[in-house]
Amino acid sequence: MSQAWLFTGPPGSGRSVTARAFAAALECTGPTPGCGQCQGCQSVMSGSHPDVEAISTQGVTITVDQTRSMVGRSYVAPGVGNWRILIVEDADRMAERTTNVLLKAIEEPPVFTVWMLCTPSPDDVMTTIRSRCRSVALTIPSARDVAELLVRRDGVSPEAALLAARAAQSHIGMARALATNPEVANQRTKTLREAVSVRGAGDAVLAAQRLLAGATERAEKQSTHSDGAELAELKRSLGVEDDKRIPPAVRAQIRELEENQKRRSTRAKRDVLDRAMVDMLSLFRDVLTVQLGAGIELINEDFAQEVHDMARSSTPARSVQRMDAITQARQRLAGNVDPLLTLEAMMLSMRPQAGAADTSFS
Ligand SMILES: [Zn+2]
């Protein structure tokens, strides 16, 4: 039995679900391992098994402190189950210094400990870690398979399911959100509209501002609620009354929470923007496939008209340029470049004649 595993696969391939299912099989108390029925299986899948811990960061990175405390727990014998299992859902969000802390623990784990790391690709972890893990590579399911699941499990109509599965590029969670949550579907439509309606530099700059404002608003909506509750909870546990001054002794803890919340909100905003860029990228990929006569199914079937119009009015080289601009913007955002500047540069390249003399910016 390997005690360190690395699950890799693109977003939506189910890395962390696979890790969890594997953990359930290891902790299974039923007649056949991974029965899915017993107390062991069910508590692992619901996240309440005392010996199985999943670390998923909501911050931009996994901190050294988080890793140290996790490593500490990896030396504690399991209480009720067969194994002590630690699942790191975003192992790619570990800084190198953090990884070194983990490396030691993975090298010589106690006999009862199993580590499961999840990353998009094997290159996302340092070679030293990778070489000590047993690798499991996952692939994304076909759009048809995802659509079938949405029909069967979520009661979505077959047409809507296929449309959503394609638009989400087989990301199951995203496909379900598109098919069942009008707000998510609406957001995608809005993003794609921005990409097809840029005419001049003025449009581009305004579109960039709208994209950023929309992402900020949604990220805030996601986190404001939990932020307030967390702060109230921490204050309660520290015995600080809401209307009283915060005693100096506990200020550091409150500050730490606030910093974590800030990191989480940055990450949420970045994720929302990245999603928008992935959607735009898929649109120009569609344009390019039409231009090249590839004859393959469109990702954005609901934008077929716009895709064909753009295919006619531009060249394959132009489509590649636009895709490059989006890819570059994604890299810049991941590298902490100012989001507004990045989005502006990207939207400017969406113009029908990027770089040409432009009179609309008056
Ligand atoms: Zn079981």
The pLDDT > 70 percentage for the chain reads: 95
Q: Mean per-residue pLDDT for 53-77?
A: 84
**272 C-alpha to ligand 1 centroid (Å):** 37
CA angle 359, 283, 150 (to 5 degrees): 145
Q: Mean per-residue pLDDT for 195-204?
A: 91
DSSP 3-state assignment of 116?
A: strand
pLDDT tens per residue, range 205-236: 999 999 999 888 888 877 776 788 788 888 88
pTM to 2 decimals? 0.71
Please state, in angstroms and as integers, the Cα–Cα distance from residue 306 to each residue in 159, 183, 208, 220, following that order. Answer: 20, 22, 20, 32
Provide the β-strand partners of residue 227.
Answer: none
Average pLDDT across the chain, whole number:
88
Q: Which residue has the tokens 């601009």?
A: 325
Question: In this structure, what is the dihedral angle of CA atoms 134, 106, 62, 76, given to the nearest 10 degrees?
Answer: 120
CA–CA distance, 264 with 269 (Å, rounded to integer) = 9
**78 C-alpha to ligand 1 centroid (Å):** 17
How confident is the model at residue 221, as a pLDDT? Answer: 79
pLDDT tens per residue, range 100-126: 888 888 988 999 999 999 998 888 888
**46 C-alpha to ligand 1 centroid (Å):** 13
pLDDT for residue 59 is more than 70: no
Low-confidence winner among 71-75, 93-97, 143-147, 158-162 (lowest mean pLDDT): 93-97
Read off the amino acid at residue 209: Q
Q: Mean per-residue pLDDT for 26-48?
A: 93
Q: Which residue has the tokens 């790191």?
A: 88
pLDDT for residue 80 is more than 50: yes
**41 C-alpha to ligand 1 centroid (Å):** 4
Residue 64, both tokens: 């050294």
Contacts of 124 (CB under 8 A, 6+ apart): 8, 91, 92
**110 C-alpha to ligand 1 centroid (Å):** 24
Q: Which has the higher per-residue pLDDT, 264 or 316?
A: 316
C-alpha closest to that of 33 among 68, 81, 74, 73: 81
The pLDDT > 90 percentage for the chain reads: 56
Q: Which has the higher per-residue pLDDT, 286 or 231?
A: 286
**147 C-alpha to ligand 1 centroid (Å):** 28
**186 C-alpha to ligand 1 centroid (Å):** 40
**153 C-alpha to ligand 1 centroid (Å):** 22
Q: Mean per-residue pLDDT for 333-340?
A: 87
Read off the amino acid at residue 122: P
pLDDT for residue 358 is more than 60: no
What phi and psi values does residue 52 have, to the nearest 5 degrees? -115, 125
**137 C-alpha to ligand 1 centroid (Å):** 24
* 182-197 vs 201-238: helix crossing angle, rounded to 10: 150
Read off the amino acid at residue 232: A
DSSP 3-state assignment of 356?
A: coil
Please state, in angstroms and as integers, the Cα–Cα distance from residue 257 to each residue in 68, 209, 253, following that order. Answer: 18, 30, 6
How confident is the model at residue 271, as a pLDDT? Answer: 83
**83 C-alpha to ligand 1 centroid (Å):** 14
Q: Mean per-residue pLDDT for 158-176?
A: 91
**24 C-alpha to ligand 1 centroid (Å):** 7
CA angle 184, 188, 194 (to 5 degrees): 145
Please state, in angstroms and as integers, the Cα–Cα distance from residue 271 to each residue in 6, 8, 267, following that order. Answer: 23, 19, 6
Residue 7, both tokens: 């699950």
Residues in the chain: 362
CA–CA distance, 277 with 192 (Å, rounded to integer) = 9
**Alpha carbon 137 to its chain's center:** 18
C-alpha closest to that of 262 among 3, 58, 9: 58
How confident is the model at residue 66, as a pLDDT? Answer: 83
How confident is the model at residue 62, as a pLDDT? Answer: 79
Q: pLDDT tier at 28 (50, 70, 90 boundaries)?
A: very high
C-alpha closest to that of 291 among 309, 316, 313: 316
**42 C-alpha to ligand 1 centroid (Å):** 7
pLDDT for residue 243 is more than 70: no
Ligand 1 ion: nearby residues, β-carbon < 5 Å: 28, 30, 35, 38, 41
**115 C-alpha to ligand 1 centroid (Å):** 20
pLDDT for residue 279 is more than 90: yes
pLDDT for residue 246 is more than 80: no
Q: Which has the higher per-residue pLDDT, 278 or 60?
A: 278
**40 C-alpha to ligand 1 centroid (Å):** 6
What phi and psi values does residue 79 have, to the nearest 5 degrees? -85, -50
